[in-house]
Amino acid sequence: MGNQLIAAQEKASGVGVLEAIKGRRSIGRVKPDPVDRQIIEAILEAASWAPSHHNTQPWRFVVMTGDGRGKLGEGYARVAAAGAPDLAGEELEERLRKERLKAFRAPVVIAAICSPSDDPRAVREEELAAAQTAVQNLLLAAHAYGLGAIWRSGQPMFDPLMKEQFELKADEEIVAFIYAGYPDMTPAAPQRKSVTDKTIWLD
């Protein structure tokens, strides 16, 4: 067992659920240092314990590290090229270069995919909600293991060309690109509105 994993497990064991929920932040800038594969597997395992209606577990993940991140980079480039038909030559190449680099902003990028069950009781909206809940589990586990992570989405994620890039089935949908690594920033604590203002009690 690597030192990186041992240190991460020790850190995770001291992080309670409420601390993880309140302490987690979106970390958009991380170090290029690689993350031990066993740590990635551990946060994916946490993701798999999300609730789902009828226990359909409608999620799957594509983990991209090293050159594997080029899969996402090429997806960004394809979407950008289709959206800028008037660009050509060096201007187009520079645009595509920048788009491809987006996939390399973290040493680990995970595509979270909603893969709906064929259970006749499954409802698509509930399947999507379950996959998104799995992403929240993953983010909390990443925080507990000392990683910084951010849930990225945006228009390219929903584009049919991105879906094609990841060879998704017709009923599958990407719900998140999670960028993860060791934090290289200290985010300010965000303010939260009082939950009292957002709650109605019916006694």
Binding residues for FMN: 24-26, 53, 151-153
What single letter denotes the amino acid at residue 72? L
**Residues of the chain by 3-state class (helix, strand, coil), percent to 5:** 50, 15, 35
Residues annotated in a binding site: 24-26, 53, 151-153
Give the residues across from 179 on adjacent strands. 109, 150
Joined together, the tokens standing for residue 71 give 């899969």
d(CA 121, CA 118) in angstroms, rounded, equals 8
Joined together, the tokens standing for residue 170 give 């017709």
Joined together, the tokens standing for residue 163 give 């879906």
d(CA 87, CA 110) in angstroms, rounded, equals 30
CB 58 within 8 A of CB 122: yes
CB 173 within 8 A of CB 34: no
